C-alpha cells in the first residue's frame, strides 16, 4: 500500500515534469517557426511540434503586449486617451476579431479541402503573433528612453513587427492547409467575408435572444399581474 | 497619427459591433460655461471669462432718429467706429472716448466738384487713362476739365452700401453695391475717385459689378469681394486700375458628380447645367502686414474633417493660404459641430474675422453667435458667446471689429453693437503671449503662472512655463509641464537634453555594468576551460 503510494508519488512529478518540458519545448519551437516559417509551420501542424497550451500563452502575451503598449509607452509615441481606456475592452477588441477570423477561416477551408483542423489553425495563428510580441514588448521600454525626433526608429520597428506577423500568418495558413499562395490569398479574402457573416449571425442571434427573453419576461409579468 | 488612430478605431468598431466601442465624446454641444476652451483630447474645458460686455449700443443709445436697418458691417480706424447701415443707405461715424460712444456724423452722400483737389489730380488722371471705355455722362459739369468731368458720378447718394473702409489719412471707401461702384472720398466727404466694373476680358461683362466687402492696404490698393465673382478677391491699384484676382477658392466637386456629368449627360443637359465653379469667400480682413484674412462659409461640412474646407485663410500676395496651423485641430471654430444642439447645428460659419496685435485673430460664428480667438500658431485662446437675447449673446452676428484688444460685434437682427472689453484673465493671456513673442521668456512664464491660477486647464500656459524652464535648464520640471500639455515636440527636446546630462553623470557605472555583463561570461568560460584542462590532466595522470 505504502509502496504503491510512494511509487505514484514518484511518478506524478516526473509526468508533470515531462508535460512541462513538452510545453517549454513548444514555446521554444516558436524561434524556429519565426526563422524557418515554411518548415516550421509544416512541422507545427503535421509533426505536432507545437501545443495548444503554448499557442494560448502567445495569444495571452499578445493581448498583454497590446495593453501594456497603450498604458506604458511614452506619450510621445502613442495617442491613447488613458482616462477613457478600459483594459478589458481593449483586450477584447483584439481577441474577438482574432477568434472570429480563425473560426471563419476554419469554416471555409474545411469545405475546400484544407488539411488543417481548427486546433491547427489556431496554433499557427498564435505562433504567427510571436514577432509582434517579441518586438513590441521591448519597444514599450525603448519608447521611454528615446525622444520624439528619434521616432523613425520606433515606427520602423513597429511596422516591421506587424508586417512580420502578417507574413507569418500567411505562410502559416498556407502550410497548415497545404494550399498554394494564390489559393491562400483567395481564402484570406473569403475569410474576412466569412468573419463578417459570423458577426452578422451573432448579432441576429443575440437580438432574437433578447427579444425572446423580453417576451418571456413580459409573459411572466402579465400572468403575475392577472393572478394577483 | 491621429487619422491612423481614428481609422483603427473605426475598423475595430466595425469588427466588434457587438460591444459598443466609443471614445468618450464631450456632451451635447453645449459648454457649461459662457467661455470655454478645448484640451488636448478636444474635450470642453470650462474657462473664466476672457471678455465681458461693457456696452451694448442700440440705435436709441446713439441718438439716431431712424433706427438702424439691416446693418452689415463695422470698421474701426483710430478711435472711430464706422457702421454700415445698409437698409438706410448710410454710414454712421461714431467716436469712442473710454466707455462713451458718440455719433459724430451720418454719411449718406458725398460732394462732387465742390472743392478742387490738387492732391487727387494725378490719381484722377491715371484713373481716366485706365477707364477710357467709360462714356461721359456728366455734361453739366462745365467748370472742370472735360476729361475729369467724364468720370464724375451723377449719383451722390448710396444704394445698399455693404462695406466701408477708412485709411489712415481719413479717406473713406464705400462699397456702394447697387450703384455698382466703390466710392472713395476724403475726410470731408469730397469725391476723390471711384472704382467701377473692370473693363477686362477676365471679368464677365454680362455680370453686374456688385462689390460686397472691401479692404484697403497700406499703399491704397483696394481689394473687394464682389457678388457672383468666384475668381477670388478683385484687386484694384490705388489709381483705380483693375489688376486681377487674388486667392481663388479651389473647385470642389464630387467624383459622382463628375462621372455623372461626363458619361451620362447629353450635350444639351451639360450646357444647361452650371459648370463646376469655385465658391465665393464670405468676408475679408486686411491685417497690419497687408495680408488678407478670408473666411469661407460655403463648403461641404464633411470636408471639415480632413481640413479641406479651410474656413479661415490668410492669403499672401499671390493668393496662397499661409495660415499657420500648429494645433492638433485646425482653426474651424466649433469642433463638435456634428452634435445636434437645441437651437443650432452644423459647423461654425465665420461671417467675419478681425486680426488683433501679434496675429491673434478672432472669428465670429453665425451658427452659434460665438467668437473664437486664435493665436498666431492657430491655437485656440478662448471661445465665448451664444445664441440669445441677453447681453453677450447674439441672434445674427454678422460683423466683428477690434479697437486695441476691445471687440465690437454687430448683430444684424437686433441692430445693436456689443462692445467687449477683456477681463484680467483675457489681458493676462495677451500679455503673456506678447512677452513670449518679444523674447521675454521668463516674464511670460510668470504671466502664464498667473493664468494657471485662474484656469488650470490652459494648455498654452503649461507650454509657456515649460519653455521658460527649459531655458533655465530645469529639464525634468520642463518635461512635467510639457507632458501636462501633451506637447510631444518640446517634451522630446527637453528629454534629449536631460538624457544627455543623465548619461554624462552616470556613464561610469553604466560602462561598469556593460563591462561586467560582457566580461563575466568570458571569465566564466575561461574558468570552465581551465577546470576541464585540469580534470583532463588529472585523469591522464591517473590512467598513467
Residue A178 lies in a domain: yes
Q: What is the DSSP string of B177-190?
A: GGGTEEEEE-TT-B
ipTM of this predicted structure: 0.77
Range B26-55 average pLDDT:
79
Range B383-407 average pLDDT:
91
Residue A213 lies in a domain: yes
User: What's the pLDDT tens digit per position in B184-230?
Assistant: 999 899 999 989 888 888 888 888 899 999 999 988 899 999 888 88
What letter would DSSP give residue B111?
A: B
Residue of A nearest to B502 (CA): A145
- The verdict on B489 touching A (C-beta cutoff 8 Å) is yes
Q: Which positions in chain A touch B491 (Cβ < 8 Å)?
A: 75-76, 148
Nearest by CB to residue A92, choosing from B19, B491, B499, is: B19
User: What is the structure's pLDDT at B24?
Assistant: 40
Q: Do A80 and A90 touch, CB atoms closer than 8 A?
A: no
Q: How many CB pairs under 8 A join A and B?
A: 58
CA distance B177 to B87: 12
User: What is the structure's pLDDT at B74?
Assistant: 94
Residue B426 vs residues B361, B431, B450: alpha-carbon distances, Å: 14, 9, 11
Q: Which positions in chain A touch B488 (Cβ < 8 Å)?
A: 75-76, 148
Residue of A nearest to B497 (CA): A147
Residue A2 lies in a domain: no
CB contact under 8 A, A147 and B41: no
User: What is the structure's pLDDT at B258?
Assistant: 76
∠ CA B232-B238-B242, rounded to 5°: 40
- Alpha helix positions (H), B109-220: 118-130, 146-149
User: What is the structure's pLDDT at B405?
Assistant: 92
Q: Do A75 and B483 touch, CB atoms closer than 8 A?
A: yes
Give the domain range for residue A157: 17-227
CA distance B406 to B417: 13
User: What is the structure's pLDDT at B21?
Assistant: 37
Residue A115 lies in a domain: yes
The pLDDT of residue B542 is above 90? no
The pLDDT of residue B16 is above 50? no
Nearest by CB to residue B12, choosing from A81, A93, A203, is: A93
Q: Which positions in chain A touch B41 (Cβ < 8 Å)?
A: 81, 83
Q: What is the DSSP string of B497-514?
A: HHHHHHHHHHHHHHHHHH
Residue A58 lies in a domain: yes
Whole-prediction pTM: 0.77
Strand locations in B79-231 (E)? 80-85, 90-97, 100-107, 161-166, 172-176, 181-185, 191-195, 211-216, 222-226
Residue of A nearest to B489 (CA): A148
Q: Do B292 and B285 touch, CB atoms closer than 8 A?
A: yes
Q: Which positions in chain A touch B23 (Cβ < 8 Å)?
A: 81, 84
Nearest in space to B86 (alpha carbons), one of B171, B177, B154, B170: B177
Q: How many domains does chain A have?
A: 1
The pLDDT of residue B141 is above 50? no
The three cell numbers of residue B1 are 497619427
Nearest in space to B433 (alpha carbons), one of B324, B329, B360: B360
Q: Do B201 and B256 touch, CB atoms closer than 8 A?
A: no
CB contact under 8 A, B492 and A203: no
**Substitution target from B1, B15, B478 for chain A, most A beta carbons within 10 A:** B15
Query: In terms of pLDDT, which residue wins out, B300 or B410?
Result: B410
Residue A162 lies in a domain: yes
Nearest by CB to residue B486, choosing from A75, A89, A145, is: A75
Nearest by CB to residue A79, choosing from B2, B16, B18, is: B2
User: What is the structure's pLDDT at B206?
Assistant: 85
Residue of A nearest to B486 (CA): A75
Q: Do B463 and B482 touch, CB atoms closer than 8 A?
A: yes
Stretches where chain A sits below pLDDT 70 are 1-13
Nearest by CB to residue B15, choosing from A76, A97, A149, is: A97
Q: Which positions in chain B touch A199 (Cβ < 8 Å)?
A: 15, 17-18
Q: Which positions in chain B touch A150 (Cβ < 8 Å)?
A: 492
Q: Which positions in chain B touch A85 (Cβ < 8 Å)?
A: none
User: What's the pLDDT tens digit per position in B235-279?
Assistant: 999 988 898 888 877 666 677 777 877 777 777 777 766 656 667
Q: In what order do the strands lie in the sheet with B90-97?
A: B73-77, B80-85, B90-97, B100-107
User: What's the pLDDT tens digit per position in A121-133?
Assistant: 999 999 999 999 9
Give the DSSP H/E element, type plus range, for residue A65.
Answer: helix A52-72
- The verdict on A147 touching B (C-beta cutoff 8 Å) is yes
> By percentage, how much of chain B surpasses pLDDT 90?
46
Q: Which positions in chain A touch B495 (Cβ < 8 Å)?
A: 76, 147-148
Residue A6 lies in a domain: no
- The verdict on B271 touching A (C-beta cutoff 8 Å) is no
- The verdict on A10 touching B (C-beta cutoff 8 Å) is no
What letter would DSSP give residue A178?
A: T
User: What's the pLDDT tens digit per position in B429-477?
Assistant: 999 999 988 988 889 999 999 999 999 989 999 999 999 999 999 999 9
User: What is the structure's pLDDT at B252?
Assistant: 64
Residue of A nearest to B16 (CA): A93
User: What is the structure's pLDDT at B390?
Assistant: 87
- Phi, psi of B85, rounded to the nearest 5 degrees: -95, 80
CA distance A121 to A105: 8
> By percentage, how much of chain B surpasses pLDDT 70?
83
Torsion of CA A35, A37, A42, A47, to 10 degrees: 20
Burial class (CB within 10 angstroms; exposed 0-12, middle 13-18, buried 19+) of A127: buried
CA distance A34 to B322: 50
Residues comprising chain A, all counted? 228
Q: Which of residues 14-33 of A touch B (CB under 8 A)?
A: none
The pLDDT of residue B26 is above 70? no
Residue A1 lies in a domain: no
Amino acid at each position: 500500500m505504502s509502496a504503491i503510494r510512494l511509487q505514484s508519488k514518484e511518478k506524478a512529478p516526473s509526468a508533470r515534469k515531462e508535460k512541462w518540458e513538452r510545453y517549454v519545448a513548444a514555446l521554444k519551437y516558436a524561434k524556429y517557426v519565426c526563422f524557418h516559417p515554411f518548415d516550421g509551420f509544416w512541422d507545427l501542424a503535421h509533426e505536432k511540434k507545437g501545443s495548444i497550451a503554448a499557442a494560448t500563452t502567445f495569444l495571452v502575451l499578445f493581448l498583454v503586449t497590446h495593453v501594456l503598449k497603450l498604458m506604458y509607452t511614452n506619450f510621445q509615441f502613442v495617442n491613447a486617451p488613458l482616462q477613457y481606456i478600459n483594459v478589458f475592452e481593449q483586450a477584447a477588441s483584439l481577441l474577438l476579431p482574432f477568434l472570429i477570423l480563425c473560426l471563419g477561416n476554419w469554416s471555409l477551408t474545411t469545405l475546400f479541402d484544407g488539411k488543417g483542423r481548427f486546433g491547427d489553425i489556431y496554433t499557427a495563428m498564435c505562433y504567427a503573433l510571436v514577432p509582434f510580441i517579441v518586438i513590441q514588448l521591448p519597444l514599450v521600454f525603448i519608447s521611454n528612453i528615446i525622444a520624439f525626433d528619434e521616432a523613425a526608429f520606433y515606427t520602423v520597428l513597429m511596422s516591421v513587427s506587424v508586417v512580420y506577423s502578417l507574413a507569418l500568418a500567411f505562410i502559416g495558413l498556407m502550410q497548415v492547409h497545404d494550399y498554394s499562395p494564390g489559393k491562400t490569398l483567395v481564402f484570406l479574402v473569403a475569410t474576412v467575408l466569412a468573419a463578417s457573416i459570423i458577426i452578422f449571425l451573432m448579432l441576429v442571434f443575440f437580438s432574437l435572444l433578447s427579444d425572446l427573453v423580453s417576451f418571456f419576461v413580459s409573459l411572466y409579468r402579465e400572468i403575475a399581474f392577472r393572478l394577483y | 497619427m491621429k487619422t491612423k488612430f481614428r481609422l483603427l478605431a473605426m475598423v475595430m468598431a466595425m469588427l466588434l459591433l457587438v460591444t459598443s466601442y466609443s471614445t468618450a465624446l464631450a456632451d451635447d454641444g453645449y459648454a457649461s460655461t459662457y467661455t470655454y476652451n478645448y484640451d488636448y483630447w478636444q474635450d470642453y474645458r470650462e474657462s473664466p471669462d476672457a471678455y465681458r460686455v461693457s456696452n451694448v449700443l442700440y440705435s436709441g443709445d446713439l441718438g439716431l432718429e431712424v433706427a438702424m436697418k439691416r446693418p452689415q458691417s463695422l470698421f474701426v480706424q483710430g478711435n472711430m467706429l464706422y457702421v454700415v447701415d445698409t437698409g438706410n443707405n448710410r454710414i454712421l461715424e461714431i467716436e469712442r472716448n473710454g466707455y462713451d460712444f458718440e455719433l459724430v456724423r451720418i454719411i449718406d452722400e458725398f460732394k462732387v466738384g465742390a472743392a478742387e483737389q490738387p492732391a487727387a489730380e494725378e490719381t484722377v488722371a491715371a484713373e481716366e487713362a485706365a477707364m477710357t471705355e467709360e462714356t461721359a455722362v456728366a455734361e453739366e459739369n462745365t467748370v472742370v476739365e472735360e476729361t475729369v468731368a467724364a468720370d464724375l458720378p451723377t449719383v451722390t447718394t448710396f444704394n445698399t452700401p455693404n462695406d466701408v473702409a477708412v485709411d489712415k489719412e481719413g479717406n473713406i471707401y464705400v462699397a456702394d453695391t447697387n450703384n455698382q461702384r466703390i466710392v472713395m472720398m476724403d475726410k470731408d466727404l469730397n469725391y476723390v475717385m471711384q472704382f467701377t466694373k473692370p473693363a477686362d476680358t477676365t471679368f464677365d461683362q454680362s455680370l453686374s459689378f456688385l462689390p460686397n466687402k472691401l479692404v484697403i492696404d497700406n499703399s491704397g490698393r483696394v481689394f473687394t469681394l464682389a457678388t457672383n465673382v468666384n475668381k477670388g478677391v478683385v484687386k484694384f491699384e490705388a489709381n483705380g486700375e483693375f489688376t486681377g484676382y487674388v486667392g481663388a477658392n479651389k473647385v470642389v466637386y464630387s467624383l459622382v458628380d463628375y462621372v455623372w456629368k461626363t458619361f451620362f449627360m447629353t450635350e444639351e443637359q451639360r450646357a444647361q447645367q452650371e459648370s463646376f465653379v469655385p465658391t465665393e469667400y464670405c468676408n475679408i480682413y486686411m491685417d497690419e502686414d497687408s495680408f488678407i484674412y478670408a473666411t469661407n462659409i460655403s463648403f461641404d461640412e464633411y470636408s471639415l474633417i480632413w481640413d479641406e474646407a479651410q474656413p479661415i485663410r490668410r492669403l499672401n500676395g499671390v493668393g496662397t493660404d499661409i495660415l499657420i496651423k500648429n494645433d492638433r485641430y485646425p482653426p474651424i471654430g466649433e469642433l463638435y459641430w456634428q452634435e445636434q444642439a437645441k437651437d443650432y447645428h452644423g459647423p461654425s460659419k465665420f461671417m467675419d474675422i478681425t486680426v488683433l496685435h501679434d496675429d491673434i485673430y478672432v472669428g465670429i460664428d453665425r451658427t452659434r453667435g460665438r467668437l473664437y480667438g486664435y493665436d498666431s500658431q492657430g491655437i485656440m485662446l478662448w471661445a465665448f458667446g451664444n445664441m440669445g437675447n441677453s447681453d453677450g449673446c447674439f441672434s445674427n452676428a454678422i460683423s466683428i471689429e477690434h479697437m486695441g484688444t476691445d471687440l465690437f460685434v454687430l448683430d444684424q437682427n437686433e441692430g445693436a453693437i456689443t462692445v467687449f472689453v477683456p477681463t484680467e484673465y483675457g489681458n493676462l493671456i495677451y500679455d503673456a503671449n506678447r512677452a513670449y513673442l518679444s523674447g521675454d521668456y521668463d516674464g511670460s512664464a510668470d504671466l502664464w503662472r498667473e493664468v494657471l491660477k485662474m484656469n488650470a486647464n490652459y494648455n498654452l500656459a503649461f507650454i509657456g512655463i515649460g519653455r521658460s524652464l527649459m531655458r533655465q535648464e530645469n529639464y525634468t520640471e520642463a518635461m512635467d509641464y510639457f507632458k501636462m500639455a501633451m506637447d510631444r515636440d518640446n517634451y522630446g527636446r527637453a528629454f534629449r537634453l536631460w538624457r544627455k546630462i543623465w548619461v554624462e553623470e552616470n556613464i561610469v557605472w553604466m560602462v561598469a555594468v556593460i563591462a561586467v555583463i560582457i566580461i563575466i561570461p568570458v571569465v566564466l568560460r575561461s574558468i570552465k576551460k581551465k577546470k576541464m584542462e585540469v580534470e583532463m590532466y588529472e585523469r591522464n595522470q591517473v590512467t598513467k
